[in-house]
A = this chain, B = another copy of it.
């Protein structure tokens, strides 16, 4: 019987589930939209139904399911599998997710933060294979971070490590959602990025984006700014240059402190290749100590949208 784990990736948009083998391959998957099952009871019922369906599928496939791994946003007590709250799912305060699911399914359940789960997926099956010390970042609306130390996820004593988006790089900078000022997230998070572009355009700076936004009614997104940059638009190139430099500055500090072998960048912003990677790496090399900066590689995440499910399943392979 082939050994698999059932991975669950709970996101604000959708919940994805998959049977994952020990090489990180998804054998079968399913998903449902988070907003169609709001409320703790309805959500839990649908989650249970989806897990049951995959467990049935595993029996048809002659697989042995070693347990259920769950990646979820927000702060989580990893040891107890306790979810303090889901940022995008109302009603899910203080839920003992692990013990509830273990009771229902009579199998081992591991719960971890979605950013940690992504880091684990990249470590075991993606761009982080073969290293012992790694920083993984998911660049989205917020910046999710995962930290691997000595080949294992590092959670910290109160399970709140790796909040890499909230390293301050400009004390005098903008207010951050976290309450601090000038966190790297206020430069690199997509909402902040888009806000900054809008502000600059409104102030009269010249860019092809002005025409694009008027003529086609297109929405301003980082992707559009990336397209404009590739089109040769200096304004947009400068935006990416600066955004990469801000991220590079934060990473330089982390490289000086943590001396990782690899930094894995995933999420929407990281899809823009050299536009973001070049200034990140240039700044990192310039600002970090030579010994540390020479020994770190900055690479793009390899697993994309599957990282959540694969990493959640990988939690089971870690601890078994």
Interface residues of A in 253-294 (CB under 8 A from B): 253-254, 256-261, 286-289, 291-292, 294
Verify if A161 is at the interface (C-beta below 8 Å from B).
yes
Task: Point out the residues of chain B lying under 8 angstroms from A170, CB to CB.
Answer: 169-172
Verify if A44 is at the interface (C-beta below 8 Å from B).
no
Task: Point out the residues of chain B lying under 8 angstroms from A163, CB to CB.
Answer: 256-257, 289, 292
Beta-carbon contact of A167 and B291 below 8 Å: no
Verify if A207 is at the interface (C-beta below 8 Å from B).
no
Interface residues of A in 169-195 (CB under 8 A from B): 169-172, 178-181
Task: Point out the residues of chain B lying under 8 angstroms from A294, CB to CB.
Answer: 158
The distance in angstroms between the C-alpha atoms of A157 and B262, with both chains bound, is 11
Verify if A295 is at the interface (C-beta below 8 Å from B).
yes
Task: Point out the residues of chain B lying under 8 angstroms from A150, CB to CB.
Answer: 149-150
Verify if A154 is at the interface (C-beta below 8 Å from B).
yes
Beta-carbon contact of A286 and B167 below 8 Å: no
Q: How many copies does the complex hold?
A: 2
**CB closest residue in chain B, given A187:** B171
Shortest beta-carbon distance, A75 to chain B, in Å? 6
With contact pairs A160-B289, A292-B156 given, residues A167 and B253 touching in the complex (Cβ less than 8 Å): yes
Verify if A34 is at the interface (C-beta below 8 Å from B).
no
The distance in angstroms between the C-alpha atoms of A249 and B168, with both chains bound, is 7
Task: Point out the residues of chain B lying under 8 angstroms from A154, CB to CB.
Answer: 149
Verify if A141 is at the interface (C-beta below 8 Å from B).
no
With contact pairs A170-B172, A172-B170 given, residues A291 and B158 touching in the complex (Cβ less than 8 Å): yes
Task: Point out the residues of chain B lying under 8 angstroms from A178, CB to CB.
Answer: 289
CB pairs A–B below 8 angstroms (18 shown): A132-B157, A133-B156, A145-B257, A147-B257, A147-B258, A150-B150, A155-B259, A157-B259, A158-B292, A161-B258, A163-B257, A166-B253, A166-B288, A167-B254, A168-B169, A168-B287, A180-B252, A181-B287
Q: A147-B258, A179-B286 are in contact. List 12 more A-B contacts (CB 8 A).
A: A150-B150, A156-B259, A156-B292, A160-B289, A167-B254, A167-B256, A168-B249, A169-B170, A170-B170, A170-B171, A180-B249, A257-B257
